[in-house]
């Protein structure tokens, strides 16, 4: 090889090798759509908060749907050919928690609530770091309140032994099994944080206080419950970003599985149809498939896109105060309820005279005021837990009306799917124990 | 110029004989006939002599010294009289490195009147040129035609060299080549062509004479002297330690029923599987797999390189938002390239692929070279092939998955009252009804207006090309237009129903014919010779296509069974009832994809010295794709006013390659040093818009009252540098060692190059002197080879960095930009690493049997797998475990019979690939679960599920023909059901040539074995609980009833098949007719594709697999794979004309 060739060759080799070190060739604009640094800004933190706020209602809508199925709010109708074995909502409607817990599907109820809890937890550090002082407290209050709301809903709906899992610094931190009261305690702590940060936002104050009142009611701390909601005005409403149609996507077709309003479902159910109560406006769907003489109904709640799901309100604050009053044997329970009813043109209530019937009346009022807002299962379980009612006196029971010859199960809470948790969560070794 | 034709063989032997007779002083030119075998043997010896490499460095030496030095280097005896050279006193300086002896001597003697003459005894002698010719003229012409030895058809594009690259050319459309101004004297003409054995002959050129030297090449699987073009430049096959399969695309396309690149690749390369997701869909996607799968979730397809440019060949973009609107079958970008523009395809399968082409080539590389112009007169080629395709839906429509509507009719027990409702197995068990009859109805099969869902559809493929040029400039331009209409169409009954639903009198063409494609291809290539050492080629491919896609559930015409009016209803009555059912069609969408794609490449070669060569290529592949879709009929939700999707993507691939190759041949050794670097940039930038609540009757997304927009974005750049050294010994043993450094931004923001080694060995055993006796017994070339290589696969960007989603929505009464983390990052993520060993044997026996055997073993470590997390939490990616793959490939070609009038050849191949999950690493411990279902000890693409062992009829007490409650006893835990990608594939290709090549017939039969698939029809039927044992013989009644729980394991079937893939009969027009039509070439071919299918399992076409997905196709008992539209049978007539 001549010297000239050697030099030329060397230049080419050096050029080749030099390209390896030329990092400018490897500068890419953005290896993914949005990077973590992109949202480490005021706008990014607020955008994250807003998405959690949006999904708060969406996730809860799915939770409320399951509560409605499990309780007497909704009933199902399906054609004989329907494959119902793997239909989660129908198994919920049948109160077959045993079937659900043994299933292999995804865990809708726990999953949706965990999503709210963990996503709000992810956003809290961002809001703390980047939100302006003027709004930081309000935003943190909202996020903590949503976390508290999610855990409260878990405690009210799920069977004891469910985990509360969080994501901290991009690492999943699995939770161990919790009793109902422990979970309510966790919810209470989150809501206390919300109340610590909240200042003058009426909406977020209402959300935090009413949810805290609900927690206290569940824990049997009646006076504290009444005190915490006392300052919430009756006309205040915290609505989700989702309209109620997300729950009520009911339609009728000859071959579909149909959601319809319960009407004395399983003997113990309330007459959500036959009461013709203006708080639950009706829409006729069509004949029941098994028994065509029955008519299926949906509600027109949410017929307007602006009808958003109510998550906490002054009305609920008054209902909490009424329940505390009834619990304390105060006569004030009825004026509180009557005031709410007359406000929408309903007649005042007639006092049934006995403690049990008064309690039934109060819970009937709660059921109609809080229809399809995920409260009903917590109410029924509180009737068992706090008031000593038998499960078979409050939940739908007896022959299941689906035409498949089955009967209602005995579950009083919604289980998580054991198989899914066993795959991931090292602290979960067995399923939860059904109970109030 | 005096034009004459000289029999070179005869002349050669004449020269030798004369030389012997006349002594060493003078040699006379003579023509003499000798025995053919002797001539052949002498030719071979002389050829070998003049081809011997010489390495000489002489400064200012005398001619005698120079000649002696050359002869010594070549170990050749050179005889001459001293007086003959004494008169030349000019000092000679020369430097030859591994230069053929003949060339070296020609150059040394260029300014003399002396010429070299081979002598019979294996030595060379020197003679005066004037003694060898009639005068003192100095140049002549060599020309000829290169033909296939069996078909006698001219071979276009064969490489012809004069004296080992002193001059080089390619044959034109008529197989002609020509060298002008060839110095008088002995010259070596060699011909190489992909798929054929190399040939070389010695010719003697006389002044002003034209020597005609024709060649007839014999086809060969892998001849050792065949040249393959890899990233390190052209190399002889004998030097490679790994296998490279080649397809002579131009020859195949002219005589085989292929209209797309995927069809061209199907069943032609052992170990390369072409999976058509939905064979019956025009323009549907295809998936390439080489030696199975080596990854779970990364792109498992080989890379495709067209003229040096990375060519986007699949729809894998590494995000989850790349699906086509409305579940329409993805369109296959691989087939954007027009097969008529392709010259050759080389498939690099072994461990060397990623060493040569970077980490993305860990699955192999498909290297495509398009056609180039040839120096010579302007040549035109026109082709056209109309075809007709049809899908088979007979009464035994086992390969079509149309849903069946079933209605059980019964009466209430102990009455004659008709039971109102579905008298299914449950109702029967509950004693609610007694089954009287069963109405089975399928719209596709029973529609009396068409009797089928598929129509015979014509397609049109046509194109033309023109090429030509001079020695310094060549061009090739071509254009192609395809127009195809898919066989599937909206059945008239469904059309009538839809018209009622939409309230229109006529449906648009897009609805009636939902699957069409029009494709325009333009191809241009210009090559310029800047100087003797520098060549530049510019290539451009432009594709414009419009395709209407189709959702495989297009046929989902619901609720028909609800409309079956009465027991015993005939088809007409059912259809009338169905027409009256406004809900019968619940879902119907149309999609259209518009593609504009431009691929340009610039390739340059600089060879400043014979031993030094630099290759540079830069290019880009750009495509703009617009996918639009609209749901014509909404869901059953009355609030749903329809939906439209609009997805726009711009894909950019840019890459550059610089390679440097140096060769040295000191003595019996040879060195080939290659250095190179590759830069690759990939970007996908797109917007995906969903619009809902369209204006009534509209399919325009702009009328949507609600729109959601996502940005689609991936971007990555990678850079790699490699060095390779090939050391040869006596041209029969070659050792290769190389090292490659690669890094990529897909692995995050820090570029870190990782080194990956490769070693290889190739030993041509048959060239060893010890085995010479075996040669005489008929043994041909025998070679052993070995190759080992390692590579890494980089995660896609979001795998390491996680994902943060962005969307727009109304929150707090304002339109806001929203963010949310949707996937956790994993800063510790590593690339997947793989290493592969390959062992091989190539052998030729008695010149009639050629055999190639390759074994390989691959190991992949740190395989990426998503950790799914429970519902409500965020997943992340992990380096999950280890995989292995091993297998072997066998190719064989046998010349069964051969004569001047007729020849019969059979080629065949067999490949077996076995994969296994070796471990799932840390992901399987520590409580973390994986979303896939890869299981240790089982293959990739495995399917797992439960089987129903028995069914307990609890209500009835004992099993009978009535199922009361399908409480089934299932296998537990989940069991292995089989592998969804068949591990074994085979092909058989007989070809017959008659009448000296004027009639040519060939066929291709291929198949697969060892895999499984799901049976959709059985599953669906059983799921409705209406099937009776008599209706579905393949599934016991009890198991049908148990389907309520969905044990997919009960519906697993073998996917074995044998398909009569291709049939071709080609005839050449008679010479007289061609002359009358002024055509130099004219051929007509009758071609049939997918003529017949033999498959033991009913259910669906085993090749129409939906859901193979990316790398994974992780089985897991998923429900994909049920549906599939069969491969159509296509009849075509192809005309190839050249004026």
* A167 closest CB neighbour out of B583, B804, B873: B873
Which of A53-67, A216-230, B412-426 is modeled with the greatest confidence? A216-230
Q: Check CB contact under 8 Å for A47 and B819.
A: yes
Q: What is the DSSP letter of B918?
A: E
> Is residue A347 assigned to a domain?
no
Give the containing element (helix H, strand E) for A8.
Answer: helix A3-21
pLDDT value of residue B933: 55
pLDDT value of residue B141: 83
> Is residue A233 assigned to a domain?
yes
Look up residue B960 and give its two tokens. 């009978």
Sign for the pseudo-dihedral over CA of B774, B777, B781, B785: negative
pLDDT value of residue B1009: 94
Residues 984-1023 of B with CB under 8 A from A: 1023
User: Any idea which residue has 């000239």 for tokens?
Assistant: A4
Look up residue A239 and give its two tokens. 């609505």
Nearest CA to B831 out of B342, B298, B282 is that of B298
Mean pLDDT for the stretch of residues A365-380: 96
Name the more confident of B426 and A113. Answer: A113
For chain A, what is the domain count? 1
pLDDT value of residue B40: 39
Sequence-distant (6+) residues with CB within 8 A of B1043 are B966, B1019, B1022, B1023, B1025, B1050, B1051
Look up residue B948 and give its two tokens. 């129903």
Q: Check CB contact under 8 Å for B824 and A12.
A: no
* B715 closest CB neighbour out of A17, A30, A167: A30
Which domain range does residue A13 map to?
3-73+86-242+407-424
Q: Check CB contact under 8 Å for A114 and B422.
A: no
Q: Between helices A314-327 and A222-229, what is the axis angle to 10°? A: 150
Q: Check CB contact under 8 Å for B677 and A241.
A: no
B609 touches chain A (CB under 8 A): yes
Nearest CA to B900 out of B820, B838, B993 is that of B993
Q: What is the DSSP letter of B328?
A: P
Q: Check CB contact under 8 Å for A55 and B820.
A: yes
Sequence-distant (6+) residues with CB within 8 A of A90 are A69, A76, A78, A84, A257, A402
Nearest CA to A221 out of A177, A178, A191 is that of A191
Q: Which of A20, A112, A119, A429 to mutate to test the interface with B (most CBs of B within 10 A)?
A: A20
A411 CA: distance to closest CA in chain B (Å)? 22
Q: Which chain A residues have a beta carbon less than 8 Å from that of B798?
A: 32
Q: Check CB contact under 8 Å for B824 and A13.
A: no
Read off the pLDDT band of A273 (50, 70, 90): very high
Nearest CA to B903 out of B913, B889, B915, B893 is that of B893
Could you report the per-residue pLDDT of B291-303, keeping only the tens digit for each?
Answer: 887 788 788 889 9
Q: Check CB contact under 8 Å for B1024 and A81.
A: yes
Q: How far apart are CA B976 and CA B163, in angstroms?
A: 62
Nearest CA to B910 out of B851, B858, B857, B859 is that of B851
B391 CA: distance to closest CA in chain A (Å)? 32
Low-confidence ranges of chain B (pLDDT < 50): 1-44, 133-137, 320-321, 393-403, 444-452, 555-562, 635-638, 923-932, 954-965, 1026-1034, 1037-1038, 1042-1045, 1106-1123
Residues B701-725 as b or e (16 or more Cβ within 10 Å = b): bebbeeeeebebbbbbbbbbbbbbe
Q: Which chain B residues have a beta carbon less than 8 Å from that of A257?
A: none
- How far apart, in Å, are the Cα atoms of A212 and each of A66, A192, A227, B929? 23, 8, 10, 36
> Is residue A192 assigned to a domain?
yes
User: Any idea which residue has 């949906």 for tokens?
Assistant: A298
Q: Check CB contact under 8 Å for A110 and B872.
A: yes
Look up residue B113 and give its two tokens. 């009147």
Chain B's closest residue to A113, CA to CA, is: B872
Q: How far apart are CA A250 and CA B36, in angstroms?
A: 91
A346 CA: distance to closest CA in chain B (Å)? 31
> Is residue A155 assigned to a domain?
yes
Give the containing element (helix H, strand E) for A214.
Answer: helix A202-218
Strand ranges, E, within B1036-1080: 1052-1054, 1057-1068
* A80 closest CB neighbour out of B424, B609, B825: B424
pLDDT value of residue A420: 78
Contact A8/B608 with Cβ under 8 angstroms? yes
A227 CA: distance to closest CA in chain B (Å)? 29
Q: Which of B94, B663, B820 to mutate to test the interface with A (most CBs of A within 10 A)?
A: B820
Based on C-alpha coordinates, what's the Rg of chain A?
26
- Respond yes or no on whether the N-terminal peptide bond of residue B857 is cis (omega within 30° of 0): no
Q: Between helices A376-385 and A202-218, what is the axis angle to 10°? A: 30
- How far apart, in Å, are the Cα atoms of B659 and each of A96, B239, B720, B735, B790? 69, 18, 12, 20, 21
* A118 closest CB neighbour out of B639, B810, B873: B873
Q: Check CB contact under 8 Å for B637 and A32.
A: no
Contact B139/B209 with Cβ under 8 angstroms? no
Query: Is the confidence at residue A335, as pLDDT, over 60?
Result: yes
pLDDT value of residue A304: 67
* A54 closest CB neighbour out of B806, B818, B1044: B818
* B741 closest CB neighbour out of A20, A27, A114: A20
Q: How far apart are CA B127 and CA B225, in angstroms?
A: 32
Residues pairing with B128 in the sheet: B114
Mean pLDDT for the stretch of residues A313-331: 96
B243 CA: distance to closest CA in chain A (Å)? 27
> Is residue A135 assigned to a domain?
yes
> Is residue A272 assigned to a domain?
no
Q: Check CB contact under 8 Å for A253 and B583.
A: yes
Q: Which chain A residues have a beta carbon less than 8 Å from that of B819?
A: 34, 39, 44, 47-48, 51
Contact B425/B962 with Cβ under 8 angstroms? yes
Chain B's closest residue to A43, CA to CA, is: B817
Read off the pLDDT band of A433 (50, 70, 90): confident
Strand ranges, E, within A300-352: 308-313
pLDDT value of residue B634: 56
Q: How far apart are CA B826 and CA B700, in angstroms?
A: 41
> Is residue A152 assigned to a domain?
yes
Q: Check CB contact under 8 Å for B817 and A404.
A: no
Chain A's closest residue to B638, CA to CA, is: A251
- Secondary structure of B527-546 as H, E, C letters: EEEEECCEEEEEEEEEEEEE
Nearest CA to A186 out of A70, A177, B1076 is that of A177
How many Cβ atoms from other residues are within 10 Å of residue B998's Cβ? 18
B418 touches chain A (CB under 8 A): no
Entry field: residues in chain B: 1139
Q: How far apart are CA A55 and CA A52, in angstroms?
A: 5
**SS3 label, residue B924:** helix
Q: Check CB contact under 8 Å for B426 and A404.
A: yes
Q: Check CB contact under 8 Å for A81 and B745.
A: no
Sequence-distant (6+) residues with CB within 8 A of A83 are B1023, B1044
Sequence-distant (6+) residues with CB within 8 A of B5 are B210, B211, B212
The bridge status of strand B1012-1014 relative to strand B1052-1054 is: antiparallel
B581 CA: distance to closest CA in chain A (Å)? 11
Q: Which chain A residues have a beta carbon less than 8 Å from that of B1045?
A: 85-86
Q: How far apart are CA B699 and CA B848, in angstroms?
A: 63
Q: How far apart are CA B154 and CA B191, in angstroms?
A: 13
Strand ranges, E, within B698-744: 706-729, 733-744
Q: Using alpha carbons only, what angle is made at residue A47 by residues A45 and A49, rounded to the nearest 5 degrees?
A: 70
Q: Is the ipTM of this complex over 0.90?
A: no
> Is residue A300 assigned to a domain?
no
B331 CA: distance to closest CA in chain A (Å)? 24
Look up residue B981 and give its two tokens. 């990608």
- Secondary structure of B976-999 as H, E, C letters: EEEECCCCEEEEEEEEEEEHHHCE
Q: Check CB contact under 8 Å for A106 and B612.
A: no
The bridge status of strand B210-212 relative to strand B139-148 is: parallel
Sign for the pseudo-dihedral over CA of A408, A409, A410, A412: negative
Entry field: residues in chain A: 436
Q: Which of B410, B682, B869, B956 to mutate to test the interface with A (most CBs of A within 10 A)?
A: B869
Contact B425/B433 with Cβ under 8 angstroms? no
Residues 361-390 of B with CB under 8 A from A: none
B803 touches chain A (CB under 8 A): yes
* A50 closest CB neighbour out of B639, B816, B1025: B816
Residues pairing with B706 in the sheet: B692
Q: How far apart are CA B147 and CA B143, in angstroms?
A: 13
Nearest CA to B921 out of B912, B908, B934 is that of B934
- Secondary structure of B123-188 as H, E, C letters: CEEEEEHHHHCCCCCCEEEEEEEEEECCCCCECCCCEEEECCCCEEEECCCCCEEEEEEEECEEEE
Computed over every residue of chain A, the mean pLDDT equals 86
Nearest CA to B613 out of B681, B662, B658 is that of B662
Helices marked H in B326-393:
352-357
Mean pLDDT for the stretch of residues A20-42: 61
Nearest CA to B875 out of B933, B926, B799 is that of B799
pLDDT value of residue B1031: 41
Give the containing element (helix H, strand E) for B482.
Answer: strand B473-485
Contact A108/B871 with Cβ under 8 angstroms? yes
B462 CA: distance to closest CA in chain A (Å)? 42
pLDDT value of residue B1118: 29
B746 touches chain A (CB under 8 A): yes
pLDDT value of residue B927: 38
Q: Which chain A residues have a beta carbon less than 8 Å from that of B753?
A: 20
Q: pTM for this structure?
A: 0.73
Chain B's closest residue to A427, CA to CA, is: B927
* B872 closest CB neighbour out of A28, A48, A114: A114
Q: How far apart are CA B592 and CA B627, in angstroms?
A: 6
B820 touches chain A (CB under 8 A): yes
Residues 712-741 of B with CB under 8 A from A: 712-719, 721, 741
Sign for the pseudo-dihedral over CA of A102, A107, A113, A118: positive
Contact B860/B884 with Cβ under 8 angstroms? yes
User: Any idea which residue has 């794709």 for tokens?
Assistant: B625
B981 CA: distance to closest CA in chain A (Å)? 26
Contact B982/B1009 with Cβ under 8 angstroms? yes
């Amino acid at each position: 090889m001549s010297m000239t060739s050697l030099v030329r060759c060397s230049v080419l080799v050096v050029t080749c090798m030099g390209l390896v070190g030329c990092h400018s060739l490897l500068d890419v604009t953005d290896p993914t759509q949005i990077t973590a640094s992109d949202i480490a800004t005021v706008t990014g933190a607020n955008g994250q908060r807003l998405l959690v706020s949006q999904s708060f209602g969406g996730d809860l809508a799915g939770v409320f749907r399951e509560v409605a199925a499990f309780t007497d709010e909704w009933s199902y109708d399906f054609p004989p050919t329907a494959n119902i074995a793997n239909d989660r909502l129908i198994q919920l409607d049948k109160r077959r928690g045993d079937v659900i817990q043994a299933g292999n599907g995804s865990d809708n109820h726990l999953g949706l609530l965990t999503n709210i809890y963990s996503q709000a937890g992810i956003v809290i550090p961002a809001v703390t770091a980047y939100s302006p002082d003027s709004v930081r407290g309000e935003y943190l209050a909202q996020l903590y309140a949503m976390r508290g709301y999610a855990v409260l809903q878990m405690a009210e709906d799920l069977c004891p032994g469910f985990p509360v899992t969080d994501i901290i610094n991009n690492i999943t931190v699995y939770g161990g099994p919790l009793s109902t009261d422990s979970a309510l305690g966790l919810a209470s702590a989150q809501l206390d944080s919300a109340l610590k940060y909240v200042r003058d936002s009426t909406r977020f104050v209402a959300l935090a206080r009413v949810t805290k009142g609900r927690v206290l009611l569940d824990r049997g701390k009646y006076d504290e419950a009444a005190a915490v909601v006392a300052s919430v005005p009756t006309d205040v409403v915290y609505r989700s970003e989702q309209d109620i149609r997300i729950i009520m996507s009911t339609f009728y077709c000859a071959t579909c599985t149909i959601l319809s309003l319960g009407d004395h479902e399983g003997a113990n159910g309330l007459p959500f149809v036959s009461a013709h109560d203006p708080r639950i406006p009706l829409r006729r769907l069509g004949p029941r498939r098994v028994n065509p003489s029955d008519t299926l109904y949906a509600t027109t709640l949410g017929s307007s896109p602006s009808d958003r799901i109510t998550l906490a309100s002054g009305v609920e604050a008054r209902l909490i105060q009424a329940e505390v009053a009834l619990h304390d044997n105060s006569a004030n329970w009825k004026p509180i309820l009557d005031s709410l009813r007359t406000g929408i043109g309903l007649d005042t209530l007639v006092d049934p005279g006995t403690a049990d019937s008064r309690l039934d009346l109060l819970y009937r009022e709660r059921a109609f005021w809080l229809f399809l807002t995920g409260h009903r299962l917590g109410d029924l379980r509180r009737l068992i837990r706090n008031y000593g009612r038998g499960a078979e006196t409050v939940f739908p029971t007896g022959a299941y009306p689906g035409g498949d010859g089955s009967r209602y199960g005995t579950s009083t809470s919604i289980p998580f799917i054991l198989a899914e948790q066993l795959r991931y969560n090292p602290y979960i070794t067995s399923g939860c124990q059904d109970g109030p | 110029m005096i034009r004459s034709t000289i029999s070179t063989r005869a002349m050669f032997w004449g020269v030798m004989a004369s030389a012997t007779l006349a002594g060493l002083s003078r040699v006379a030119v003579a023509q003499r006939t000798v025995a053919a075998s002797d001539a052949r043997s002498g030719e071979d010896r002389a050829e070998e002599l003049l081809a011997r490499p010489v390495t000489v460095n002489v400064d200012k030496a005398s001619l005698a010294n120079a000649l002696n030095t050359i002869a010594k280097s070549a170990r050749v005896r050179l005889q001459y009289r001293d007086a003959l050279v004494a008169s030349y006193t000019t000092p000679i300086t020369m430097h030859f490195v591994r230069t053929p002896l003949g060339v070296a001597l020609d150059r040394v003697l260029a300014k003399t009147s002396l010429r070299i003459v081979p002598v019979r005894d294996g030595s060379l002698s020197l003679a005066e040129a004037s003694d060898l010719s009639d005068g003192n003229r100095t140049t002549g012409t060599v020309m000829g035609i290169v033909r296939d030895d069996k078909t006698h058809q001219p071979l276009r594009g064969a490489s012809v060299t004069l004296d080992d690259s002193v001059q080089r050319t390619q044959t034109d459309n008529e197989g002609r080549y020509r060298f002008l101004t060839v110095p008088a004297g002995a010259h070596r003409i060699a011909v190489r062509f992909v798929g054929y054995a190399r040939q070389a002959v010695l010719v003697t050129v006389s002044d002003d004479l034209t020597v005609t030297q024709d060649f007839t090449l014999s086809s060969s699987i892998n001849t050792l002297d065949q040249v393959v073009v890899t990233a390190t430049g052209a190399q002889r096959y004998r030097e490679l330690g790994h296998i490279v399969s080649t397809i002579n695309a131009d020859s195949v396309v002219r005589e085989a029923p292929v209209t797309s690149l995927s069809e061209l690749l199907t069943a032609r390369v052992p170990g390369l599987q072409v999976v058509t997701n939905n064979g019956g869909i025009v323009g549907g996607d295809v998936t390439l797999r080489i030696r199975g799968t080596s990854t779970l979730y990364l792109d498992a397809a080989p890379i495709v390189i067209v003229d040096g440019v990375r060519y986007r060949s699949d729809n894998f973009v590494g995000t989850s938002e790349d699906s086509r609107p409305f579940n329409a079958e993805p369109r296959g970008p691989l087939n954007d390239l027009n097969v008529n523009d392709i010259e050759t395809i080389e498939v690099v399968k072994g461990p060397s692929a990623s060493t040569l082409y970077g980490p993305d080539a860990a699955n192999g590389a498909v290297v495509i070279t398009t056609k180039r112009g040839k120096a010579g007169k302007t040549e035109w080629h026109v082709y056209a092939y109309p075809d007709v395709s049809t899908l088979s839906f007979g009464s035994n429509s086992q390969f079509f998955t149309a849903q069946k509507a079933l209605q059980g009719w019964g009466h209430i027990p102990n009455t004659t009252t008709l039971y109102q409702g579905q008298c299914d197995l449950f109702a029967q068990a509950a004693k609610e009804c007694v089954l009287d009859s069963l109405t089975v109805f399928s719209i596709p099969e029973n529609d009396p207006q068409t009797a089928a869902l598929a129509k015979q559809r014509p397609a049109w493929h046509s194109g033309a090309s023109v090429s030509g040029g001079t020695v310094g400039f060549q061009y090739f331009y071509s254009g192609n237009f395809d127009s195809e209409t898919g066989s599937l169409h909206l059945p008239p009954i469904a059309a009538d129903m839809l018209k009622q639903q939409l309230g229109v009198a006529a449906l648009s063409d897009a609805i009636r014919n939902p699957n069409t494609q029009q494709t325009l291809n333009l191809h241009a290539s210009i090559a310029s010779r800047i100087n003797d050492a520098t060549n530049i080629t510019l290539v451009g491919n432009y594709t414009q296509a419009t395709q209407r896609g189709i959702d495989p559930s297009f046929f989902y015409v619901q609720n028909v069974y609800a409309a079956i009016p009465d027991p015993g209803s005939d088809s007409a009555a059912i259809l009338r009832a169905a027409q009256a059912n406004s809900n019968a069609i619940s879902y119907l969408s149309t999609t259209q994809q518009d593609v504009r794609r431009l691929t340009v490449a610039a390739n340059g070669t600089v060879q400043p010295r014979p031993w030094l060569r630099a290759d540079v290529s830069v290019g880009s592949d750009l495509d703009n794709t617009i996918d639009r879709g609209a749901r014509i009929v909404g869901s059953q939700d009355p609030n749903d006013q329809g939906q439209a999707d609009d997805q726009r993507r711009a894909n950019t691939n840019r890459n550059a390659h610089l390679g440097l190759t140096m060769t040295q041949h000191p003595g019996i050794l040879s060195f080939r040093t290659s250095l190179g670097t590759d830069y690759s940039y990939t970007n996908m930038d797109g917007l995906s818009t969903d619009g809902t609540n369209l204006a009534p009757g509209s399919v325009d997304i702009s009328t949507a009252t609600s729109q959601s927009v996502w940005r689609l974005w991936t971007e990555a750049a990678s850079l790699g540098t490699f060095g390779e050294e090939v050391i040869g010994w006596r041209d029969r043993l070659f050792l290769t060692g190389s090292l490659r450094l690669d890094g990529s931004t897909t692995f995050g923001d820090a570029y870190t190059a990782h080194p990956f080694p490769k070693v290889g060995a190739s030993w041509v055993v048959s060239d060893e002197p010890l085995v010479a006796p075996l040669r005489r017994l008929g043994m041909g070339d025998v070679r052993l080879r070995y190759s080992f290589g390692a590579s890494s696969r980089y995660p896609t960007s979001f795998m390491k960095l996680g994902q943060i989603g962005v969307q727009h929505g109304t929150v707090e009464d304002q339109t806001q930009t929203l963010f949310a983390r949707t996937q956790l990052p994993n800063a510790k993520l590593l690339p997947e690493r793989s290493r592969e060993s390959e062992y091989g044997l190539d052998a030729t026996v008695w010149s009639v049997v050629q055999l190639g055997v390759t074994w390989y073993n691959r190991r992949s470590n740190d395989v990426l797998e998503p950790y799914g997390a429970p519902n409500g939490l965020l997943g992340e990616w992990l380096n999950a475990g280890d995989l292995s793959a091993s297998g072997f490939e066998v190719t064989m070609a046998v010349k069964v019979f051969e004569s001047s009038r007729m020849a019969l050849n059979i080629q065949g191949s067999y490949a077996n690939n076995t994969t296994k999950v070796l471990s799932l690493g840390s992901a399987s411990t520590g409580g973390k679960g994986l979303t896939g279902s890869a299981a240790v000890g089982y293959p990739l693409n495995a399917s797992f599920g439960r089987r129903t062992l028995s069914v307990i009829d609890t209500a009835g007490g004992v099993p009978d023909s009535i199922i009361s409650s399908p409480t089934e006893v299932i296998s537990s835990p989940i069991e292995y059901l089989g592998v969804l990608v068949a591990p074994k594939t085979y092909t058989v290709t007989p070809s017959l040539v008659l009448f000296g090549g004027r009639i040519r017939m060939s066929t291709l039969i291929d198949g697969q074995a060892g895999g499984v698939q799901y049976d959709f029809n059985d599953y669906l039927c059983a799921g409705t609980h209406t099937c009776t044992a008599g209706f579905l013989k393949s599934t016991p009644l009890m198991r049908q009833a148990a389907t309520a729980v969905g044990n997919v394991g009960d519906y697993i079937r073998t996917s074995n098949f044998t398909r009569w893939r291709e049939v071709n009969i080609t005839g050449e027009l008679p010479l007289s007719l061609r002359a009358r039509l002024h055509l130099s070439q004219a051929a007509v071919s009758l071609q049939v594709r997918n003529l017949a299918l033999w498959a033991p399992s009913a259910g669906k076409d085993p090749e129409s697999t939906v859901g193979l997905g990316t790398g994974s196709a992780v089985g897991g008992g998923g429900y994909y794979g049920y549906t599939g539209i069969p491969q159509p049978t296509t009849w075509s007539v192809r005309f190839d004309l050249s004026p």
